[in-house]
Structure 1
Amino acid sequence: MTFTDRPPRVIIIGGGFAGIAAAQALKGSGARILLLDSQNHHCFQPLLYQVATAALAGPDVAWPIRYVMRGRPDVTVLMLAVEGIDTARKTVKTRVVDIAYDFLIIATGAAHSYFGHDDWARLAPGLKSIDDATLIRSRLLAAFEQAEASVDPLARARLLTFVIVGGGPTGVELAGAISELARRTLPPEFHRVDPARARILLLEAGPRLLSAFPERLSTYARRALERMGVEVRTEAAVAEVRPAGAVAAGEEIPAGVVLWAAGVRASPAANWLGVAGDDAGRIPVGPELTVAGFPDVYVVGDLAHVTGPDGVSVPALAASAKQMGWYAGRAIRRRLRGERPRKPFRYRDHGNLATIGRKSAIVKLGRLELTGFVGWLFWSVVHVYFLVNLRSRLFVAISWIAAYFTFHRGARLITR
């Protein structure tokens, strides 16, 4: 493919892990890169639960995309929401302008899935963005404030009941963090109610928590949560979410806050391309991460349905998103030189991690399994290392060290 009248144009839709990795891989390619996102910031999603539970502030885990792309004159960042794609004309449609592309990388990620009950979204927010995290933080803190002001014992008990739906990493991390907030941070500051008596329920529809981990680690996580006072219920599918609670396994649970961590659904990009997605809306892609019939369109990250040589789908993790974004960017570099990718995409499993609470985490790295304080230290170092800049690494590390010794959570602002 040759471009005689202008530099080739690559459009990247999405400024998450996959989109940023693709832009970084295209450095020095000679292409003009347009990075489109409806938000102006890149968010480090693995630490969003700490924003939601007041341990960190939003700017500690999110940075302007323009800052991340500073020093890259080949990258133009546009805060635009994509409304469609015209594959025949090779243009991306936005409300403001239609933009032509030579290569397209779609990295729009995933949103919450309420399994056909989208009306539950306003009652049980999920955790995918800074907005989600600040909303959850405000609801959690407001529940304690309302309980302090209430004179009705039943109303107090409901307000101090927190339900988390979904026993994956996000649900486990939220449950552990809310327990620490209620039992360690808040009690000295409240006088009419005892936050330590808060009831925290983690509901999982399947037979065990953290199904992606070995059963031994899953069992460890459950026992660690139960030692922290969290009620863990497996095989407890949620049948209904109500303004004042939820119904699960035939039981009505009055609650002040219900949080959703049970499932995700891909963005509507399959509709943009006019292709069929899988049950979760993900777009099936070939071994080079391109869409059948559209060799110049790459789909990466949580939006892509990628199957490895063993027939197992690549997991929707930050690590896999980065690997896919990097592969797509390098593949386009080679195509711009008139070459083909050397080999098909292969996901390299660098392990799986989840934190349960203070001094407790689980780590699975090949045959290596870590739990407890050692696992928590490893988890902490890995997450600090992957933050975008030195300031964030230092600030987060200092915040964690201070919180470890004082139990203080300094971001306890109700802003919504």
Structure 2
Amino acid sequence: MVVVGAGFGGLFAIKALRKAPVDITLINGTAYHLFQPLLYQVATGILSEGEIAPPIREVLKNQDNVDVRLGWVSDIDIEKKVVAVSGPGIDYTVEYDTLIVAAGASQSYFGNDQFADHAPGMKSIDDALELRARIFGAFEVADLHTDPETIQRWLTFVVVGAGPTGTELAGQIAELAHRTLPGQYKHIDPRKARIILVDAIGAVLNTFGDHLSAGAQRQLEKLGVEVKLNTKVVGVDSTGIEVEDANGRHTIPSITKVWAAGVAAPPLARKLAEAAGAKTDRAGRVFVEKDTTLPGHPEIFVLGDMMNLAGEDGKPLPGVAQVAIQSGRHAADQIKRRLSGKETGQPFKYFDKGSLATISRFSAVASIGKVHLSGFLAWVVWVAVHLFYLVGFKNRVTAVLHWAVSFIGRGRSERVATQQQAFARRAIRAYGDPFERERAEAVTAHKKELLDNAAPAEKQPATATPEREPLSVRE
């Protein structure tokens, strides 16, 4: 059995198969399991990356039927039942009898991928560390300038997307500017920072219902966040962001922008769908059977953010952690039933445990069935739920300590940021894949060494054919 992805879907499926008679190969692009809902706290200096991203090998160290391998799945041959993997400087393949594909989701810029250079998303540890460097770095650079317009540009933070991620991030940047950083700079007042939350739709946290949505917006505005709804982003560059609203197009001068507006399935989803003749939706998610298997291929399960499956209300299930967790457990149950000779094909039934989002310290919103909470009580529920799903006792303890420092006090435990974190994305894009470059350079060096060490040809008569030019790298 092969599992692609160590997110919630893949990890919970593997844990549910701990005692099953299966040999599992887990393939993941990183060596850690990411608790994505808390990425914004890494970006704003509350938690360290290690507290939300425990090593996969440590998480599964007591499960003997798992082989963990690093790499990105580049292709799946569903006829030969072979997965092609691109690892760091090495390509390899893995055969399977049963396949679980749970590779998560990527940031969607709605066809404007060039925005990523100036408005990073919030889908990975790299994203969070880059944003931490940009956010804290903006205050540092602003303190060096004397021109008021330049200072204000550095102190203007624009968050695109008023869903849970964007709302939580905007609230925490506001807390930074108004509670944590005042009094630490000699030449600027961090409280004069502008935090702007932009969304093309007409509500903050629109999936939470009108009452909670309106309450969340009021709380954000109380924190000093400027909420601009029904506002579409049409351009992003290094100095600002161009938006279009009821008053037409205009530019918001800003150095630090964050994109939290959309998600899409990874390219692997489309490759898998094309190979099986399955359909995908606009976000690239694969339409699956009711038991989460790929149409025509009951040996392949597609889970979490990669699948398009209608819930009881007829609408596609949301791309949230609970869907991934429950679909992972469902796939594991189907596999165990198949191994024991029982009937399979039971439909996946999603149980909605509700939605949570923090606005600021001691303030959150919670929608749990017919129960709608806001304020401190919702924040307590948020803390309890996130602690429950954090992997590892050590991570739970340190998270509580850091929350105490940040929420009860005024400090931020994780403010270290480096130039590499701030600029590595663009540097790697310009430089190319380091492993591929090293491999190409090694080939070139080897060719040159062979030529340099070749025995000199015997002198030829004057009428002989001239000596051949050195071989090219391609030859």
Q: TM (normalized to structure 1)?
A: 0.96
SS in 2 for 1:407: coil
Partner of 1:278: 281
Cα distance in 2, alignment partners of residues 343 and 72 from structure 1: 27
Matches within 5 A, 1:9-28: 10-28=1-19
Q: Is the 8 A contact 2:74 2:268 kept in 1?
A: no
Q: Is the 8 A contact 1:270 1:276 kept in 2?
A: no
Q: Structure 2 matches for 1:156-235, cutoff 5 A?
A: 156-235=151-230
TM-aligned CA deviation for residue 315 of structure 1: 0.9
Q: Which amino acid in 2 is paired with 1:260?
A: W
Are 1:369 and 2:372 matched, yes or no?
A: yes
Match of residue 299 from structure 1: 302
Q: Distance in 2 between matches of 1:245 and 1:286?
A: 45
Instruction: Please state if 1:257 is matched with 2:259.
Output: no
CA deviation string 1:264-311 (max 9, x = no partner): 110112333214311000001111100112111100010111112321
SS of residue paired to 1:316: coil
Equivalent position to 1:333, from 325, 332, 336:
336
More deviation, 101-110/404-413? 404-413
Secondary structure of 2:84's counterpart equals: strand
- AA aligned to 2:170 is A
In structure 1, the partner of 2:35 is: 44
Rounded Cα–Cα distance in structure 2 between residues aligned with 1:38 and 1:270: 15
Residue 74 of structure 2 is aligned to residue 83 of structure 1: yes
- The one-letter code sitting in structure 1 at the alignment partner of 2:215 is Y
Question: Does residue 311 of the first structure (1) align with residue 306 of the second (2)?
Answer: no
CA distance in 2, matches of 1:21, 1:155: 49
Secondary structure at the residue paired with 1:42? coil
Distance in 1 between residues matched to 2:348 and 2:299, nearest whole Å: 16
Does the CA-based 8 Å contact 2:73-2:268 persist in structure 1? Answer: no
Secondary structure of the residue aligned to 2:219 is: helix
Amino acid at match of 2:355: N
Report the alpha carbon displacement of residue 342 of structure 1 after superposing the two structures with TM.
7.0
Counterpart of 1:355 in structure 2 is 358
Q: Aligned with 1:376: secondary structure?
A: helix
Larger Rg: 2
Question: 1:247 and 2:246 equivalent?
Answer: no
Structure 2 unmatched ranges of 5 or more: 422-475
RMSD: 1.0
What is the aligned counterpart of 1:141 among 136, 141, 152?
A: 136
- State how far apart, in whole Å, the 2-side matches of 1:322 and 1:290 are: 16
Q: Secondary structure at the match of 1:97?
A: strand
Give 1:51 shift: 0.2
Match of 2:48 among 49, 57, 65: 57
CA drift of 1:374 comes to 1.0
Moved more, 220-229 or 366-375: 366-375
Distance 2:347 2:321 in 1: 20
Tell me if the contact between 1:61 and 1:387 (Cα under 8 Å) persists in the aligned partners: yes
Asked if the contact 2:105/2:305 (under 8 Å) is kept, the reply is: yes
Structure 1 stretch displaced more, 399-408 or 178-187: 399-408
**Secondary structure of 2:284 counterpart:** coil
Per mean C-alpha deviation after superposition, the further-off stretch among 387-396 and 168-177 is 387-396
Q: Could you tell me the percent identity over the aligned residues?
A: 42
Structure 1 residue runs of 4+, over 6 Å off? none
Counterpart for residue 101 of structure 2:
106
SS at match of 1:350: coil
1:309, 1:413 → 2: CA distance? 46
**Highest RCO, 1 vs 2 (Cα 8 Å, sep ≥ 6):** 1
Residue 29 (structure 1) aligns with: 20
Q: Which moved more, 1:153-162 or 1:24-33?
A: 24-33
The number of equivalent residue pairs is 407
In structure 1, list runs of 5 or more residues that go unmatched: 1-9
Between the aligned partners of 1:232 and 1:358, the Cα distance in structure 2 is: 19
TM-score (norm 2): 0.84
The letter for the 2-side match of 1:397 is V
- C-alpha separation in 1, matches of 2:165 and 2:222: 19
